[in-house]
Amino acid sequence: MATTPQASMQLETIVLGAGCFWGVEKRFEAMPGVTDVQSGYAGGNGVEPSYRVITQQRNKFNPNNHAEVVRVTFQPELVSLETLLQRFYEMHDPTQRNRQGNDVGTQYRSAIFFQNEQQQKIAKQVTAQYQPLLTAAGYGEIQTQIQPLNQFFPAEDFHQDYIAKNPNGYCPDHATGVRFDSSNVTAAPAVDNSALLKGKHIVMIDAAEYCPYCEKFKANVSSKYQGKIPLHYRLASQLEGLTITTPTWATPTLLFIENGVEVFGVQGYMEPEVFYKALGLFSVGADSESYQVAFQSDTDRPFCKQYEIFKNTPDGIFVDAFSGAPLFDTRDRFNSGSGWLSFKKAIDGAVTTRTDYSHGMIRTEIVAAVSGIHLGHRFNDGPNGTTRYCINATVLEFVPR
């Protein structure tokens, strides 16, 4: 929902179908002059207007099925119907019949439901203006249905403001990229992907417009990531030269690439612990000792190879092997004789703790604050009864000072 209209406002409504109503609702809500957007159903005949019914297999290609639509309430003195319909066409692919991307069926059809002759006239004018622009860009005929609105049925509460209620999703984007006025639109610059053709890389498919899930991922994950596998941002149109198999219409989408070829991809926002687990699979594999320790809370063998390498390093910092975040300082290291790296303390803010009840014991587990990986345990058997951080070497990397 958008802002509450004042009684003095002159308001008008238009009902539009552009595929799944979740993303359409969000985009119209962001437009100046729009006071309210409500998801719902329209255009059906003899079909119950509910999500449960319109999504049934028997109605998937039923021409009498309802379409997923939004009812847009706006102030004509602030935003014209012509502008709204231009934005409507620009936010989806109207040349697809009964579908938008992977969403297939009559419920996803492109449609304009007019309420008077003036709305019908403007709808036809805008459609006629857009067709040659699409044709010039190599697209086919517009499939948008322009028909009178018989009745608008509000969708269930679950669907209203869906994206705001579901913070761990993605923003669907099926736009063609064809604009009515390209004079103030800057095309996505060409990007050199040659560096991504060698070695391992992570690519986040970003949104050309505002995407709350993309911004959330940047704030919670990528802004804190310092790992050795480079993380890049690309628009869906900037993947030339890469071999990608995951659909690229959802933002964010994370692509894990090796030598220019996608190994696997994940659509939608990823919480830090989910991202790092995927990164672990990509970087070291599920069968590796470091993965088992980091993500399955396993333990290094005492006096393991990595311990022998790290026990007498020069002055420096030990960092998280996955996030690259600093964890421990060599100046706090001491030899406990246990066969595991031991430290008097962690770097401030680098770790968190939680109670570990495994193996019939009660221990304090040490967890990396950024990635959430298991590091080891904290005991009270350090020098002169001080604290000892008992840390697995296989989940660390060393950086000289």
Catalytic positions, written as ranges: 20
Number of Cβ within 10 Å of residue 224's Cβ equals: 15
Here the tokens at position 19 are 């595929």
> Cα(231)–Cα(254) distance, rounded to whole angstroms?
10
> Cα(48)–Cα(151) distance, rounded to whole angstroms?
12
> Cα(353)–Cα(323) distance, rounded to whole angstroms?
18
- Burial-class residue 297 by CB neighbours within 10 Å (0-12, 13-18, 19+): middle
Q: Which residues pair with 333 in a beta bridge?
A: 343
> Cα(26)–Cα(329) distance, rounded to whole angstroms?
47
> Cα(217)–Cα(202) distance, rounded to whole angstroms?
14
One-letter identity of residue 74: F
Q: Where are the alpha helices (DSSP H) in 49-194?
A: 51-54, 81-90, 117-136, 162-165
> Cα(351)–Cα(345) distance, rounded to whole angstroms?
10
